[in-house]
A = this chain, B = another copy of it.
Amino acid sequence: MNRIYIKEIKNKIGEEVKLAGWVDVRRDHGKLIFIDLRDMSGKAQMVALPNHKEAHDNASKLRSEWVVEIIGKVNKRPEKMINKNEELGEVEVEITEVKILSEAEIPFEKDAATNLDTHLDNLPLTLRTEKAKAVFKVQAEIVKAFREFLNQENFTEFQAPKLIGEDAEGGANSFDVTYFKHIAHLAQSPQLYKQIMVGVFEKVFAVGNVYRAEKHSTTRHLNEYTSLDMEMGFIQDHTDIMRMENRLLKFVMDALKESCGKEFEFLKATVPEVPENTIRFRFYFHNAFPDGKKAFLYTRRRK
């Protein structure tokens, strides 16, 4: 029997299926043992009954995050057992066979708020939460939409080196790398390479990690992050870039609305609105000087 994804059981009522995934939670009621099984597609409830003795024994051993293969029969739940809050809350799987693929030990209480050290020390486990998954999903969708838009606009993607001889940009500090008998640096930006490639393809972009050797104590600064970079030639002025960026941001946010609604809801966040047109400002000056020169006073957004 081939393994199917958990979300497919909705259409397999009455059939025997083979599933694989992680034990999300085990609730042991003695005779009845409930297992919430999770895979990349979703989560569903499995139940082990005493009449399948071996499966029941195995199910009683399971703990959160153990990796298992389960064979069982998909049943529609009785009316009063239906859980409307779960996507697969109308079905459950009656377990006939449990195969333990891998045990796991969680060195903290599952679902408890962990402090930063515990979180970082246990990423293989802490990244499995809905919240962490939502962050990674949104990241993946942003990068995907960024590339999709720029490909549509005939930009060419290229791979920029990060191991460089000199600083690509002034400003930020760079990390030193021992490069055989020399000192090399980690690039703070693909700027130089983008400019070279504009001479080749006119419109280019790069997605890659960049490095800033700055000490920090906030989560808003990072020594290493993924930078989304574009560069285009033959512009008239900065408003060409602003218009392109505006359309790019709108495309990315529209993609997020379409594909990450659930994730934003879970993160209690909303996808930012991008105005149809670039923001324009009106500049206000004051006749400040005797020679007629004006002093800059303030800007106000133009309607």
Q: A123-B196, A159-B139, A209-B159 are in contact. Are A133 and B3 (CB under 8 A)?
A: no
Q: A199-B124, A234-B20 are in contact. Are A157 and B133 (CB under 8 A)?
A: no
Q: Is the CB of B178 within 8 A of A176?
A: yes
Q: Which of chain B's residues have a CB closer than 8 A to the CB of A207?
A: 207
Q: Which A residues between 115 and 158 are near B, CB-CB below 8 angstroms?
A: 123-125, 127-128, 132-133, 136-137, 139-140, 143-144, 147, 151, 154, 156-158
Q: Is the CB of B39 within 8 A of A202?
A: yes
Interface size class of A (residues with CB under 8 A): 35 or more
Q: Which of A123, A132, A151 has the most CB of B within 10 A?
A: A123
Q: Which of chain B's residues have a CB closer than 8 A to the CB of A269?
A: none
Q: Is the CB of B128 within 8 A of A200?
A: yes
A224 at the interface (CB under 8 A from B): yes
A177 at the interface (CB under 8 A from B): yes
Q: Which of chain B's residues have a CB closer than 8 A to the CB of A209?
A: 159, 161-163, 208-209
How far apart sit A127 and B156, CA to CA, in the bound complex (Å)? 14
Q: A124-B199, A234-B20 are in contact. Are A158 and B140 (CB under 8 A)?
A: yes
A289 at the interface (CB under 8 A from B): no
Q: Which of chain B's residues have a CB closer than 8 A to the CB of A163?
A: 175, 186, 209, 211, 223-224
Q: A39-B202, A196-B123, A215-B180 are in contact. Are A140 and B156 (CB under 8 A)?
A: yes
A179 at the interface (CB under 8 A from B): yes
Chain B residue at smallest Cβ distance from A19: B234
Q: Is the CB of B139 within 8 A of A158?
A: yes
Q: Which of chain B's residues have a CB closer than 8 A to the CB of A157?
A: 140, 143-144
- Nearest first, the 8 A-B pairs at minimum CB distance are A40-B202, A159-B226, A176-B178, A124-B196, A20-B234, A140-B157, A163-B224, A127-B200
Q: Identify 7 residue pairs between A and B in the complex whose beta-carbon atoms are under 8 Å apart, listed by A's number.
A: A39-B234, A144-B147, A159-B226, A163-B175, A176-B178, A178-B178, A208-B209
